[in-house]
Amino acid sequence: MSLVVLIISAAIVNNFVLTYFVGICPFIGVSKKIDAALSMGIAVTFVMTITAIVTWIINRFILIQLGLPFLEYVSYIVVIASLVQFVEMFIRKTSPALYKTLGIFLPLITTNCAILFVALLHTMRGYGFIESVVFGIGAGVGFTLAIVIMAGIREQLETADIPKPFQGAAITLIVAGILALAFMGFSGLVAA
């Protein structure tokens, strides 16, 4: 699979949020305003790419070398948790402006299942190093796209007259369903 196809597949055709249902919590929680959604998307893409790099190295050179594939989940979650903490400290020291925008979202990313999903999928599908990195970027772009579109729709929803039982999470899920239907239109774009 060429890298361009891989990135389009991860970002649009098999969109993480709308096809694999990962990263739903921030998708619903942080999609009220477009700016916040965009910051969250950028933060997730950033962490996702680094996670893909680090977990690929760990899987290839530690877990497989030592015959410990059953430690995959435990080691990945520790890596992700510490990575997020590390990225947070790094951004706070080097770029206070960026930290102001991303700061509150970073701790939330640890429990974002999309991050762990990237690590699990590139292991499961046996991607090479470059492929894993590109896959991480593509998945992050797809997440950003979905959450920004969702925020745009929700800003409009605020003025809409929604029946009481549908207010809150229910209407958000239905909007996501319609969005998923729309994204199904891309499904013929890439085989596999």
Partner 1 sequence: MATRSITYEFAKGLIKNNPVFVQVLGMCPVLAVTTSVVNGLGMGMATSFVLVSAALIGSLIKPLVPSEVRIPVYAVVIATFVTIADLVLRAFFPPLSASLGPYVPLIVVNCVIMGRIEAFATRNGPGPAVSDALGMGAGFTAALMVLGAVREVLGSGAFFGIELFGEGFTPLLVMILPAGAFLTLGVLMAIFNALKEGSHTVLIKAESKAEA
Residue (86 or 100) nearer to partner 1, CB: 86
Give the residue, chosen from 12, 13, 18, 63, that forms a contact with partner 1 under the rule CB under 8 A: 18
d(CA 159, CA 71) in angstroms, rounded, equals 49
Nearer to partner 1, 98 or 186 (CB): 186
**Radius of gyration of the chain from its Cα atoms, rounded to whole angstroms:** 17
How many CA atoms are closer than 13 Å to the CA of 187, on its beta-carbon side? 8
DSSP 8-state secondary structure symbol assigned to residue 165: G
Phi, psi torsion values for 32, nearest 5 degrees: -90, -30
Among 6, 13, 24, 63, the residue binding partner 1 under the rule CB under 8 A is: 24
Binding mask 119-138 for partner 1 (x = CB under 8 A): -xx--x--------------
Minimum separation from the CB atom of position 165 to partner 1 (A) = 4
Q: Which is nearer to partner 1, 29 or 98 (CB)?
A: 29
Segment interacting with partner 1, rule: CB under 8 A, options 92-100, 104-112, 133-141, 146-154: 104-112
Interaction between residue 38 and partner 1 (CB under 8 A): no
End-to-end CA distance of the chain: 10
DSSP state of 66: H
